[in-house]
Copies of this chain bind each other. A is one copy, B any other.
């Protein structure tokens, strides 16, 4: 269940490069402030770890990195930072994987769907506009008031399909 290792020099197509990370962190800082929240060192570093990761990371994976960098070493340290990020739209929880991933489009008040590759464990955040609309419709006809939704697809990403051929 560990993410596939990549040799040095290779990086997933839709994986945020280092340049992007800085931009997103700045954006995150701004966004957090606007909500009256503080992007403290642990939180910021946690987001950075997610941004640099291939695929989603489990809380204990994040924790390990944090603890080797002088932050706390106990589970609540990671869970608190991760939950903060999720609550503020900076990360998403992937329930099927018991893991977390940085939001690819912070700032948008979006509804996302996640495409999870069974071969390389990559997680891609897709726009769920249409899916979400259909779900709203289904909920409405059941008389259900929808607050939020989890949409996760499991399959094979295009890169893995190509290499399997």
Contact = CB atoms under 8 A, between A and B. Distances in A.
A143 B78 CA distance: 33
Nearest to A115: B144
Contact of A142 (B115, B135, B146): B115
Given A113-B138, A130-B134, A155 B147 contact: yes
Given A134-B134, A135-B113, A126 B155 contact: no
Interface stretch (A3-11, A33-41, A156-164): A156-164
Q: Interface residue tally of chain A, by bracket?
A: 35 or more
Contact of A131 (B115, B135, B142, B145): B135
A135 B146 CA distance: 18
A53 B124 CA distance: 36
B158 A143 contact: yes
B142 A126 contact: yes
A159 to B, nearest CB: 8
A15 to B, nearest CB: 14
A151 interface: yes
A20 interface: no
A137 B131 CA distance: 9
A114 B118 CA distance: 23
8 contacts: A95-B152, A96-B150, A113-B135, A135-B153, A142-B158, A144-B156, A144-B158, A147-B153
